[in-house]
Amino acid sequence: MTAITRFAPSPTGLLHVGNIRTALHNWMLARKSGGRFILRIDDTDAARSREEYVDAIRADLQWLGLDWDAEERQSARLDRYEAAFTALHAAGRIYPCYETAQELDVKRKIALGRGLPPIYDRAALALTEAERTAKEAEGIAPHWRFKLDHAEPITWDDGIRGAQKFDAAQLSDPVIRRADGSWLYMMPSAVDDIDMGVTQVLRGEDHVSNTAVQIQIFTALFAAGFAATETAAKTLPAFAHEALLVGREGKLSKRLGSLGCDAFRERGIEPEAIIALLARLGTSQPIEPIADRAALIASFDLTSFGRAPAKFDEDDLERINTGIVHLLPFEAVQHRLPDGMDEAGWHAIRPNLAHLGEAADWWRLVTGPIAQPEFAEDDKAFLAEAARLLAWGDNPWGELTTVLKEATGRKGKPLFLPLRQALTGMEHGPDMGELLPLIGEDEARARLTQAAA
Provide the mean pLDDT of the chain. Answer: 95
**pLDDT value of position 157:** 98
b/e 303-334 (16+ beta carbons within 10 angstroms → b): eebeeebbbbebeebbbbbbbbbeebeeeebe
List of domains in the chain: 4-242 (3.40.50.620), 330-366 (no CATH), 368-452 (1.10.10.350)
Tens of pLDDT, residues 90-140: 999 999 999 999 999 999 999 999 998 899 999 999 999 999 999 999 999
Neighbours of 85 (CB within 10 A): 19
Counting every residue, how long is the chain?
453
Residue 1 has pLDDT above 80, yes or no: no
For residue 254, what pLDDT band results from cuts at 50, 70 and 90?
confident
The residues that bridge with 4 in the sheet, in sequence order, are: 36
Residue 46 has pLDDT above 70, yes or no: yes
Residue 241 has pLDDT above 80, yes or no: yes
Whether the pTM exceeds 0.85: the reply is yes
From the list 199, 208, 206, the residue with the least C-alpha distance to 158 is 208
From the list 290, 272, 262, the residue with the least C-alpha distance to 333 is 272
Tens of pLDDT, residues 275-311: 999 999 999 999 999 999 999 999 999 999 999 999 9
- 137 CB-near residues (< 8 Å, 6+ apart): none
Tens of pLDDT, residues 192-234: 999 999 999 999 999 999 999 999 999 999 999 998 777 677 8
Tens of pLDDT, residues 63-92: 999 999 999 999 999 999 999 999 999 999
Task: Indicate the burial class of 277 (C-beta count within 10 angstroms; 0-12, 13-18, 19 or more).
Answer: buried
Tens of pLDDT, residues 363-415: 999 999 999 999 999 999 999 999 999 999 999 999 999 999 999 999 999 99
For residue 252, what pLDDT band results from cuts at 50, 70 and 90?
low
**pLDDT value of position 304:** 97
Assess contact for 100 and 135: CB atoms under 8 A. no
**pLDDT value of position 229:** 73
Phi-psi region of 49 (alpha: psi -120 to 50; beta: other; left: phi over 0): beta
Percentage of the chain lying above the pLDDT 70 cut: 99
Assess contact for 451 and 383: CB atoms under 8 A. yes
Assess contact for 316 and 277: CB atoms under 8 A. yes
Q: Rounded to 5 degrees, what are φ and ψ at 49?
A: -75, 140
Assess contact for 45 and 12: CB atoms under 8 A. yes
**pLDDT value of position 255:** 78
Assess contact for 203 and 18: CB atoms under 8 A. no
**pLDDT value of position 257:** 80
